[in-house]
Homo-oligomer: A and B are copies of this chain.
C-alpha cells in the first residue's frame, strides 16, 4: 500500500480500477440526477465513497472525470461487420441512436461540450476521445474498400465523421429527439456520398 507507483499505473481489477469504476459510475448517476451544471468534486466524492483528494489527484477537475467517462462510454459502441457497407453504416447509425437515447449520454456529451467552452483543457479531451472513437470504427470503411464497394482513396475518417455529424447537430443545435428518420438518413447520406467519391483524397495520407 505504501509502495510508490508511477502516476497512472494500476493493476487491472485492482484498487485503482475499482476507484475509477466507482467515480465514473457516480459521475454518470449525478449527470442523470442533476445534469452537468450541478456536478462537483464533493458530490462525486459523496456518491462514490472515494475521498475527494483522491479524485482531485487523479482527475484534477470535474471536466477531467467527464472526459474519462466519455472515453469509457464511447467504447461501448461496437463495430458492425455485416459484410455489406450500407448495412454496416445503418448498424452503426442505429448504435449511435441507441447510445443517445439515454438521457445520461445526452447530458454527458452536452456537458463536455459546454465544459470545453469554459476550460481550454477540455477541448483537447473531447477532440482526442472522438478521434479515437472514429478511428476505431473506420475499420468498416477499410473493409468496404477491400471489398471494392468504395473508391480505394476514400478517407475512412471522413466517412465516419459524415455519418456521425447529423446526430450531434440534432443533439446540440436543433435539440430535438433522435428519431428513426434521422438515423436512417444519416446512414443513407454517408453511403451515397461515399459511393459518389465525396470523401476521396487524391493521394493517400
Q: What is A's interface to B at a CB cutoff of 8 Å?
A: 35-37, 110-111, 113-119, 123-124, 126-127, 130-131, 134, 158, 161-162, 164-166, 168-170, 172-176, 185, 188-190, 192-193, 195-196, 198-199
Contact = CB atoms under 8 A, between A and B. Distances in A.
Contact of A192 (B35, B117, B118, B192): B192
A131 B174 contact: yes
A161 B166 contact: yes
Contacts of A118: 36-37, 114
A199 B196 CA distance: 17
A173 B117 contact: no
A64 B135 CA distance: 38
Contacts of A190: 189
Chain A interface main SS type: helix
B169 A165 contact: yes
Contacts of A173: 113, 126-127, 130, 164, 168
Given A189-B190, A189-B198, A192-B193, A164 B175 contact: no
B127 A174 contact: yes
Contacts of A162: 166, 185, 189
A113 B192 contact: no
Contacts of A35: 117
Contacts of A174: 127, 130-131, 134, 161
